[in-house]
Amino acid sequence: MVSQEYVQKMETRQNYRNLWHTDLLRAVQADTPYCCFAVFCSPCASYLLRKRALYNDMSRYVCCGGYMPCSGRCGESRCPEFCLGTEVVCCFGNSVASTRFMLQDEFNIQTTQCDNCIIGFMFCLNQIACIFSIVAMIVGSEEISEAAHILNLLSELVYCSVCACMQTQHKVEMDKRDGKFGPQPMAVPSVQVMSRIDQPYPSTVGYPPAQAQPAYGYPPTGAAPQGYPGAYPPPPAAYPPQGYPPAGYPK
């Protein structure tokens, strides 16, 4: 029976807002060598990813990440490495899913609709192949048995490829977590450069002291502008000039 805590975690996971660094469709492009490694040595990749998700602290290991009824009851505290090795070999699908849930809970990562469709297609194909195998066993038809064999082969190929892409997705996300992509563009500024609006503004913040400069680009008094002969003309006399208006001008 599924525990209430597990149901609450699943409901909370639906409200996460962060996204994976790469989705399942682009996981092969994100790290092709690791995806090939995950295809041909899936249990090894799952073992390494789970250990890395635990920050290499195996004292924190719980079977299937604590998401299964048997979690915490398999002697993990005495021999965590052996229990993890058993998990990735005997319960490979659960080991991949558990690592995925751990990363989603740690970084508040949601599963996109595209990822849901790919994972759902993988599960549906497995179920259809299982149904065909049961029908072929009951009916004994050679045609149905051949169709079941083809569906089983196809479902295994899809299962291996999707699990490899999921493991690559997990690896890329942990590369981002561990800073292997360099500093993030939206890094939080250090405390030294943060200030509040009510703090006094310093007189100089990394700039040289202010010097008196002529306004609007005009040269100092008496200096001639470029291309102008001599200095500026003298300032005009007092206005109005003496003798203005001329004599005899009607007032």
Question: Between 29 and 194, where is the model more confident?
Answer: 29
- pLDDT tens per residue, range 178-224: 988 766 554 444 444 343 434 443 444 343 444 444 444 445 554 55
Chain-centroid distance of CA 244 in Å reads 82
Within a domain: 205: no
Question: Between 247 and 244, where is the model more confident?
Answer: 247
Within a domain: 221: no
Please provide residue 198's backbone torsions phi and psi, each rounded to the nearest 5 degrees: -90, 0
Q: 3-class DSSP state for residue 73? A: coil
pLDDT grade, residue 29 (50/70/90)? very high
Within a domain: 81: yes
- pLDDT tens per residue, range 225-239: 555 455 445 555 554
Within a domain: 207: no
What residue numbers bound the domain in which 61 lies? 4-177
Within a domain: 242: no
Q: Average pLDDT of 141-163? A: 89
In the chain, the percentage of residues whose pLDDT exceeds 70 is 69
The pTM for the full model equals: 0.66
Within a domain: 100: yes
185 close to 39: Cβ distance less than 8 angstroms: no
Within a domain: 184: no
Counted domains in the chain: 1
Question: Rounded distance, CA 88 to CA 45, Å?
Answer: 9
Within a domain: 38: yes
